[in-house]
């Protein structure tokens, strides 16, 4: 599968676009595929890259994913990599395919072509059973929380520990309570989702994902359903995670937060990543990038 | 060939003397066989206390005897409805889950099942199962293994009602599952749940709460549908009432009694389900009170 990717192995790896491109069209790349030669372990591919900011062994590799749904091409040969401990921000207009991309990376909706490698293991070649293990290693945070409405906060965290990891009830509850404590919600453990505020719900959902000990977290607009006062508490949790070395791919429209926390912006439009680069590079005055344009509009709406 | 005439023959033999006991009626049990008893059957009515002819007036004790005979039928009706609802539940939940989240080919097969059992009347189903499937099964067992099966009309009624209810219940649960946000299922899968566990641990516990009102409705409908089981000679309320009314010519009081019994069973069941609904209620899910 991966061997047939257009340009596999020949192009420079994404995320390290030549700085010279920052002139007229900064960081503009056309659907590059990372080095994904089937024989070589991907880690070696990452090791051969030119050094970049915070370069570390590549943990998650997304290779040329395409997805068509309802006769529409929603993802067009999208590639990206995430090194251990990296946080990258995916940004772009509504309908650009950001959510679809995260779902494909997670194999919740398997992509039509392309592959996802976690720690060098190809998701496409996994059996049904192993794909569950694969999903377990990638935590997903949803825009509208998706807490299990029939379970208390504690059980929301514990249910997967018991049914997926096979922990005993007592151990699962202990772990659940410690995860809730980590996001500052130990006092709400026995409340149902409908009794929690939006910010609390999102923190529970983060605790639920963290309890599975994921290697990577995918966050799909974790704050966009929250009112401004609640956004801060969720962003703080994300900041803490980042400081703790969690690898994350985050879709967000919180430009201010994103630009100081991330090393790389990925701008997504029409199912492709059209621009990528560091915040300084893309958001510089007069850079003329789509990202800068989009972010300034966002800032206008958000009032700076 | 075929099964003994059901339900009708019982009254005809009654000239004078002892009342023909429907459970001992030779027409209903094939010659030479020990009459079988359904598992819920009590002692057969000591109907010998009844008047010899319909034209004789009945005294209090005779009325009491007749009433008790009919009331004992509620045991059969209750067993029938409990069995059929359970069978329907056991069919309905997996069918609904597959129709929403399962593989396309299996969903298609289940759709045919739903069409079939929602499309034909329960009476027709009763005859098809009792005279068609059951006869075939008995003949097959006898010719193949020398086994003398004697499948009861009670079990045929239970099967017919359960299969029909399964089709209706599957659509109740399908509606309930569809009414839940798809994100519930997606979130479970994203945590690494196997599909079966995502359904049994996350989706169905919520769906059953949403489906509760419609499900208790299904109970009350099926309970009254179960009255047609009399036609096979299942000794439930309706069969006994019909028998007693025809024997004594006192139709009105006995049919009023039957109506009251059905009403009481409906009321009890619906109250019980309502109690369960309240017990399993979760804040923010399903219906407030
Ligand atoms: N099942 C589907 N069938 C057809 N089209 C779909 C389907 N799901 C999503 N789409 C389309 O895919 C496009 C991308 O959707 P997606 O949710 O990925 O965008 P997004 O970038 O996450 O947008 P937002 O910022 O609003 O969340 C949209 O135009 C949407 O209409
Ligand atoms: Mg989205």
In the predicted structure, residue B131 carries a pLDDT above the cut 50: yes
3-state secondary structure B130-162: HHHHHHHHHHHHHHHHCCCCCCCHHHHHHHHHH
CA A96 to ligand 1: nearest atom: 21
Q: Which residues have a Cβ under 8 Å from the Cβ of A184 and sit 6 or more positions away?
A: A203, A233, A237
Total number of residues shown for chain A: 304
Residue whose Cα lies nearest atom 26 of ligand 1: it is A94
Q: Which residue has the tokens 């995670």?
A: A241
What are the tens digits of pLDDT across the range A73-115? 999 999 999 999 999 999 999 999 999 999 999 999 999 999 9
Q: Taking CB atoms and an 8 Å limit, are B283 and A108 in contact across chains? A: no
Looking at the predicted structure, is the pLDDT value of residue B275 above 50? Answer: yes
Alpha-carbon span B223 to B202, nearest angstrom: 30
Ligand nearest to the Cα of A109, by number: 1
Helix (H, G, I), strand (E, B) or coil at B123: helix
State which of A71, A97, A101, A272 you would mutate to test the pocket of ligand 1, scoring each by most atoms of that ligand within 8 A of its C-beta.
Answer: A97
For helices A228-243 and A198-210, the axis angle rounded to 10 degrees is: 20
What pairs with residue A248 in β-bridges?
Answer: A87, A217
Q: How far, in Å, is the centroid of ligand 1 from the Cα of B207?
A: 27
Of A257, A246, A239, A1, nearest in space to A116 by CA:
A1
Angle at B160 between CA B162 and CA B219, to 5 degrees: 40
**Ligand 1 atom closest to Cα of residue A102:** 18
Q: What is the mean pLDDT of residues A173-185?
A: 94
ipTM score for this prediction: 0.79
Q: Give me the helix-helix angle, B104-119 and B153-179, nearest 10°.
A: 130
Please, what is the average pLDDT of chain B? Answer: 83
Nearest to B266 by CA among B203, B219, B211, B227: B219
**Closest ligand to residue A268's CA:** 1
Interface of B with A in 201-260 (CB under 8 A): 201-202, 205-206, 209
Q: Which stretch of DSSP H or E encloses residue A73?
A: strand A72-83
pLDDT band at A189 (very low <50, low <70, confident <90, very high): very high
Residue scoring higher pLDDT (A1 or A158): A158
Q: Is the model's pLDDT at A15 over the cut of 70?
A: no
* Domains, chain B: 81-234 (1.10.3720.10)
Measured in Å, residue A98 CA sits from the centre of ligand 2 at: 6
Nearest protein CA to atom 22 of ligand 1, as residue: A99
If 0-12 CB within 10 Å is exposed, 13-18 middle and 19+ buried, where does residue B112 land? Answer: exposed
Measured between CA atoms, the residue of chain B closest to residue A132 is B192
Query: Which one of the ligands is nearest to A74 CA?
Result: 1
Average of per-residue pLDDT values in chain A: 82
| Cross-chain residue pair A146–B183, CB shorter than 8 Å | yes
Question: What residues flank ligand 1, with Cβ below 6 Å?
Answer: A 69-70, 72, 74, 94-100
Across A171-192, average pLDDT: 95
Distance A271 CA to ligand 1 centre (A): 9
B219 alpha carbon to ligand 2 midpoint, in Å? 42
CB contact under 8 A, B201 and A163: yes
The pLDDT of residue B38 is above 80: no
User: Among partner residues B192, B201, B206, which is closest to A136 by beta-carbon distance?
Assistant: B192
In the predicted structure, residue A55 carries a pLDDT above the cut 90? no
B190 and A CB contact within 8 Å = yes
β-pair partners for B188: none
User: Which has the closest alpha carbon to A19: A29, A30, A7, A6?
Assistant: A29
Query: Could you tell me what percent of chain B has a pLDDT over 70?
Result: 81
pTM of the model: 0.80
Residues of chain A found within 8 Å of residue B206, distances taken between Cβ atoms: 148-150
Lowest mean pLDDT across A60-64, A124-128, B214-218:
A124-128
Tokens matching residue A245 = 């070395």
Q: Given a cut of 80, is residue B176 above it in pLDDT?
A: yes
**Residue A39, pLDDT above cutoff 60:** no
Find the helix or strand (DSSP H, E) in which B118 lies.
helix B104-119
Q: Tell if the CB–CB gap between B187 and A148 is shorter than 8 Å.
A: yes
Instruction: Write out chain B residues lying below 8 Å of A146, CB-based.
Output: 181, 183-184, 186-187
Between these two residues, A44 and B272, which has the higher pLDDT value?
A: B272
| CA dist., res. B199 & res. B207, Å (int) | 10
| Band of residue A6 on the pLDDT scale cut at 50, 70, 90 | very low
Residue A299 has a pLDDT of 81
Statement: residue A173 has pLDDT above 50: yes
**Alpha-carbon span B123 to B163, nearest angstrom:** 13
* Other CB atoms within 10 A of residue A153 CB: 30
pLDDT score recorded for residue A70? 92
Of A69-78, A186-195, A295-304, B176-185, which range is least confident?
Answer: A295-304
Provide the pLDDT for residue B253: 92
| Least confident among A224-238, B85-99, B121-135, B167-181 | A224-238
Distance B145 CA to ligand 1 centre (A): 62
Taken as a whole, chain B contains a residue count of: 289
Closest atom of ligand 1 to CA, residue A92: 21
Distance of alpha carbon A4 from alpha carbon B95, whole angstroms: 40
Q: Do B183 and A209 touch (CB under 8 A)?
A: no
Is residue A97 within 8 Å of residue A299, measured between CB atoms? Answer: no
Q: How confident is the model at residue A45 (pLDDT cuts 50, 70, 90)?
A: very low
Query: What domains are defined for chain A?
Result: 56-137+216-304 (3.40.50.300), 146-213 (no CATH)
Distance CA(B16)–CA(B20), nearest Å, equals 10
The alpha carbon of B251 is separated from its chain's Cα centroid by a whole number of angstroms, namely 25
pLDDT confidence of residue A295: 85
Number of helices (H), then strands (E), belonging to chain B: the values are 13, 0
Question: Are the Cβ atoms of A150 and B209 closer than 8 angstroms?
Answer: yes
Contact B284 A192 (CB under 8 A): yes
List % helix, strand, coil for chain A (3-state, nearest 5): 40, 20, 40
Considering only A12-16, A166-170, B135-139, B221-225, which range has the smallest mean pLDDT? A12-16
The HSE-up count of residue A149 (CA atoms within 13 Å, CB side) is 23
């Amino acid at each position: 599968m991966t061997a047939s990717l257009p340009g596999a192995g020949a192009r420079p790896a994404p995320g390290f676009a030549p700085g010279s491109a920052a002139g007229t069209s900064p960081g503009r790349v056309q659907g590059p595929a990372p080095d994904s030669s089937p024989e070589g372990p991907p880690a070696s591919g990452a090791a051969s890259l030119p050094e970049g900011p915070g370069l570390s062994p590549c943990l998650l590799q997304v290779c040329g994913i395409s997805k068509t749904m309802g006769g529409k091409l929603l993802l067009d040969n999208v590639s990206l990599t995430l090194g251990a401990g990296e946080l990258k921000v995916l940004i772009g207009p509504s309908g650009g395919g950001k959510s679809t991309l995260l779902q494909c990376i997670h194999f919740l909706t398997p992509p039509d072509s392309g592959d996802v490698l976690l720690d060098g293991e190809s998701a496409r070649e996994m059996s049904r059973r192993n794909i569950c293990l694969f999903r377990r290693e990638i935590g997903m945070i949803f825009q509208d929380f998706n807490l299990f409405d029939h379970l208390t906060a504690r059980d929301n965290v514990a249910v997967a520990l018991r049914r997926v990891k096979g922990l005993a009830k007592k151990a699962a509850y202990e772990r659940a309570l410690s995860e809730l404590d980590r996001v500052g919600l130990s006092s709400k453990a026995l409340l149902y989702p409908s009794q929690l505020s939006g910010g609390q719900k999102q923190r529970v959902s983060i605790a639920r994902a963290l309890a599975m000990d994921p290697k990577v977290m995918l966050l799909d607009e974790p704050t966009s359903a929250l009112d401004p006062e609640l956004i801060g508490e969720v962003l703080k949790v994300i900041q803490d995670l980042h400081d703790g070395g969690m690898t994350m791919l985050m879709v967000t429209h919180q430009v201010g937060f994103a630009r100081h926390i991330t090393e790389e912006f990925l701008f997504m439009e029409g199912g492709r990543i059209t621009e990528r680069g560091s915040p300084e590079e893309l958001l510089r005055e007069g850079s003329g990038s789509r990202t800068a344009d989009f972010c300034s509009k966002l800032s206008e709406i958000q009032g700076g | 060939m075929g099964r003994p005439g059901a339900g009708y023959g019982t009254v005809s033999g009654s000239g004078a003397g002892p009342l023909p006991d429907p459970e001992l009626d030779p027409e209903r049990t094939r010659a030479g066989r020990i009459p079988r008893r359904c598992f819920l059957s009590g002692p057969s009515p000591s109907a010998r206390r009844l008047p010899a002819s319909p034209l004789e007036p009945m005294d209090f004790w005779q009325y009491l005897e007749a009433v008790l005979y009919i009331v004992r039928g509620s045991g059969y009706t209750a067993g029938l409805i409990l069995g059929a609802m359970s069978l329907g539940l056991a069919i309905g939940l997996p069918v609904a889950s597959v129709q929403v989240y399962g593989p396309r080919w299996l969903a298609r097969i289940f759709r045919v099942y739903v069409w079939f059992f929602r499309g034909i009347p329960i009476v027709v189903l009763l005859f098809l199962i009792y005279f068609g499937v059951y006869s075939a099964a008995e003949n097959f067992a006898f010719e193949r293994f020398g086994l003398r099966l004697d499948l009861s009309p009670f079990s045929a009624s239970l099967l017919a009602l359960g299969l029909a209810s399964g089709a209706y219940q599957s659509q109740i649960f399908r509606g309930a599952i569809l009414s839940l946000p798809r994100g519930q299922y997606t979130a479970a899968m994203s945590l690494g749940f196997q599909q079966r566990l995502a359904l049994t641990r996350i989706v169905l516990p919520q769906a059953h709460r949403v489906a509760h009102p419609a499900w208790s409705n299904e109970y009350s409908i099926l309970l009254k549908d179960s009255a047609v089981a009399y036609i096979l000679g299942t000794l439930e309320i309706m069969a006994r009432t019909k028998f007693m009314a025809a024997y004594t010519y006192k139709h009105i009081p006995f049919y009023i009694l039957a109506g009251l019994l059905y009403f009481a069973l409906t009321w009890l069941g619906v109250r019980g389900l309502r109690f369960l609904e309240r017990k399993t209620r979760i804040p923010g899910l399903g219906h407030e009170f």
